[in-house]
Amino acid sequence: FIQYIERQVVLFDAIEDAGFSYVNNMHGRGTIRSIKEEASNKQLESELIDYIKRFKVRIVLTAHPTQFYPDNVLVIINELSKSIAHDDLDNIKKLLVQLGKTPFYKKEKPSPYEEAVSLIWFLENIFYHSASTIYNYIDEHIINSVDLDNSIFDFGFWPGGDRDGNPFVTPEITLKTAERLQFSILRNYYRDLRKLKRKITFPGLENRIEFLESLVFNQLFYPE
């Protein structure tokens, strides 16, 4: 019965993710678009731009080992959300069958590094794309031609680097976690460079993108 309830919760999580834009008003009060329009109506565009230039959000990721799903379950949730959003019933059935045969918990408590790896999944697959989408919208629709020398987002990462007395979080674990974080972000950079390479085929720029791609590739797979 507990196993059944667990999978029901995952299904509802996937449905909630897939239907978020339908349930919530993505352009309503409190959204970036709403703030932009309100500033425009009140002729406060310059004040809004000045505020954004110094505005910063710091997101610190942390979690208790019992509060998140294993990596393989996260992948299923992600794929399930996409399939629900596209009404792909055949794939939904396959994923639900896969979910029914996938264990939710390990018998042993995860190590600090394993906790970190599980949370890095969110950085790589959720926050990386969400933060860039928000930043690009602000840059294109609010800042416009004004240079935006502000990253908007700062990310902190607690697992694998906390110093709250956990004897299993050693300097070696912290370094290993930092290396995994670096690998994760470089892997996303490499994917984006591959996409960019297919779109920018102009003389003078193509070689520069290929050079950047090779740098990231070597750092990913052949670090010194």
- Amino acid code (one letter) for 194: R
pLDDT of 158-169, one tens digit each? Answer: 888 887 777 888
Question: What does each C-alpha distance from 195 to 56, 85, 114, 153, 221 come to in angstroms?
Answer: 29, 24, 30, 24, 19
Q: What is the maximal distance between C-alpha atoms in the chain?
A: 62
Element (H, E) at 69: none
User: For the residues 68-91, what does the mean pLDDT come to?
Assistant: 83
pLDDT of 2-58, one tens digit each? Answer: 455 666 777 777 777 777 777 777 777 878 888 888 998 999 988 998 899 889 999
Across-strand partners of 33? Answer: none
pLDDT of 115-143, one tens digit each? Answer: 888 889 889 988 999 999 999 988 888 88
Residues 67, 47: Cα–Cα separation, whole Å: 41
pTM: 0.75
15: Cβ contacts below 8 Å, ≥ 6 apart:
81, 84
